Amino acid sequence: MAQPLKIRRLAGALGAEISGVDLSQDLPDETIAAIRRALVEHQVIFFRDQDLTPARQTAFGARFGPLNIHPYVAGMADHPEVMEIVKEPEDRINFGGGWHSDMSFLQTPAIGSILYAVQVPEFGGDTLFASQAAAYDALSPGLKATLETLSAVHSASREYSAQGHSAQKRKGMSVAEADGYVGEYVHPVVLTHPETGRKALYVNPAFTLRIDGWKTSESKALLDYLFNHCRYEGFTCRFTWAAGSVAFWDNRSVWHFALNDYPGQRRHMRRVTVDPWPAMAEQAREVELARAG
């Protein structure tokens, strides 16, 4: 019989730390189901003192859905689903150093990301998380009603194209695939979580270009307002890493921001990204098509 998880809430809007589980093991289905329930309830969950090889990390991630192979950043040779995120002491720019939601630039965005700390700096290198469900809840009824009629255009063009300004190009990470491949995809501005029914804002500064059907200049004022609103301190939690720590966040309702405040030190992380099961992805597409009329 699976032991119940020990869950300690970390902040008001989101975040919980889970203990009493070894993620490197072949966990029973009821434990995986309990972890998933904790994820959708708390939006981001954390584990300490884990020992995950790339194979163990992919095995754990695959219990929640198919694993994504990033279209622009090369994964490990033996584990293409695993991205190695390394900032060397001489690097000035870090990966993920701005508020964003992973993979919103895809036609079918990822549902979650699992980040494992291999090596962390002596100080700095925390990650911030922001609940976009809390951000939606705090809006006025009038603005909620307006936003629920809108969709937004997402693209990786600013981050991964030849003209983009992503740190990957400065770090030798593979971005050549982006040339001629970057597309634009439309998603609702307000996303209804398929597992909880809770609504969340689904725009982010890295990948949202404009409101669908609006000019970029027309979209700017509304998006700037939402971006500023969505990172309000009361919607956030902050995680301080140690080697062996794991963060698992729900990209459907969470932004994150990797802080770049550890000059001259090395930080080495590994990430796997979980896509929705095909039936869940098809259901989400049907909802978007129905919403578009």
Confidence at 176, pLDDT banded by 50, 70, 90: very low
CA distance 169 to 176: 9
Contacts 24+ apart (CB under 8 A), 91-94: 91/167, 91/170, 91/171, 92/263, 93/167, 93/170, 93/171, 93/260, 94/167, 94/258, 94/260, 94/267
Cα angle value 94/216/222 (rounded, 5°)? 80
Q: Is residue 157 part of a domain?
A: yes
**End-to-end alpha carbon distance in the chain:** 48
Q: Is residue 1 part of a domain?
A: no
Q: Is residue 101 part of a domain?
A: yes
pTM: 0.91
What residues are labeled active site? 100, 102, 256, 271
User: Quick one: which H or E segment has residue 131?
Assistant: strand 127-131
Which tens digits make up the pLDDT trace of 32-64?
999 999 999 999 999 999 999 999 999 999 999
Q: Is residue 127 part of a domain?
A: yes
Task: Indicate the pairing of strand 199-201 with strand 208-211.
Answer: unpaired
Q: Nearest 5°: phi and psi at 174?
A: -75, 120
Q: Is residue 137 part of a domain?
A: yes
CA distances from 239 to 47, 129, 291 (A): 11, 8, 36
Paired strand residues for 191: 200
Q: Is residue 113 part of a domain?
A: yes
Residue 290 pLDDT > 60: no
User: Quick one: which H or E segment has residue 159?
Assistant: helix 157-160
Number of domain units in the chain: 1
- HSE value, Cβ hemisphere, 13 Å, CA-based, for 10: 24
Number of other CB atoms surrounding residue 168 within 10 Å: 19
Task: Determine the structural domain holding residue 55 and report its residue range.
Answer: 6-292
Which tens digits make up the pLDDT trace of 196-250?
999 999 999 999 999 999 999 999 999 999 999 999 999 999 999 999 999 999 9
CATH number at residue 81: 3.60.130.10
